[in-house]
Amino acid sequence: MEATKKIAKDIQKKLIIFTHIPKTAGTSVRHILMQQYGENAVFMFYDDPTVTTKNADELLNELRGYFRYLPAINNQKFNSWVKLRVISGHKPFGIHSLLPVNNFHYITLLREPIERVISFYYHIFGRTEHSLDYLISCKQSIQFDNLQVRMLSGVGWKVPYGNCSSKMLEQAKYNLIHYYTFGIQDRFAESLEIFSKYLGLSQVQIVAENVGVNKPKSSCIDQETLHLIAQQNLLDIELYQFAKHLFKERQIQCRSVD
């Protein structure tokens, strides 16, 4: 119990890096963080998540554009000069290595992989003439290919479509254990409880943001398409099962933080 309390207090002193996996209720979490820390304390990357991850200089320049009083040099203590509490965006694990930050902690939300792919399709492609199975078959978007493993392992979009590996899966599991406080999208209230305890949030107001409309559940999708999604996301499915078990363990630990 005491060890868990110490971990929570330690996390609350660190810069929070939010790995926002698309279509996992991450926009709602980001708004909660803005409510808690203030809008000026949350930096959000706005670029397209399908492009190559920016290098260190580009990231720092973007930060400087947001915090105009950020010093021109890369000082290890830059975080004490600005009121930056959270960095958020569709960026894979590893941003900490590109920034002059020593004390950091990652958070994220995961989602059942098949539901996430369906949600992404209707959010981006739902008004097009192309079917979901067609877009997956022609490898239209990297978001159809084990995106959660890609982001949590840190490889992001550097690995070509269809080339995700078991090594990437194991790295994602390792990072989830050692670097992340995380939640599960379909257990959102319980996830916020964990975030609140470990991040020191208070009086959290749940805000539904960027919610898909007119999106069918997986039970309404034909079996052939569901099978195609599953085959394309086997590593994500295994990661999600692993995360659900780990989430239960974290819930037990969370109850000891009072």
Q: Please, where are the H alpha helices in the chain?
A: 2-11, 26-37, 56-66, 78-81, 113-124, 132-137, 147-153, 166-179, 188-199, 223-232, 234-254
Q: What is the pTM (predicted TM-score) of this model? A: 0.85
At residue 74, the pLDDT reads 47
Residue 28 in this model has a pLDDT that exceeds 50? yes
Where are the domains positioned within the chain? Answer: 2-254
pLDDT tens per residue, range 64-102: 665 555 444 444 445 554 567 899 988 899 988 877 777
pLDDT tens per residue, range 168-226: 999 999 999 999 999 999 999 999 999 998 888 887 766 655 555 556 666 578 899 99
Residue 126 in this model has a pLDDT that exceeds 90? no
The band of 255, judged by pLDDT with boundaries at 50, 70 and 90, is: confident
Checking phi first, is residue 160 left (phi over 0); if not, alpha (psi -120 to 50) or beta? beta
Cα separation, 82 vs 168, whole angstroms: 35
Cα separation, 136 vs 222, whole angstroms: 14
Residue 186 DSSP symbol: G
> What class, spelled out in words, does domain 2-254 have in CATH?
alpha beta
80 within 8 A of 13, measured Cβ to Cβ: no
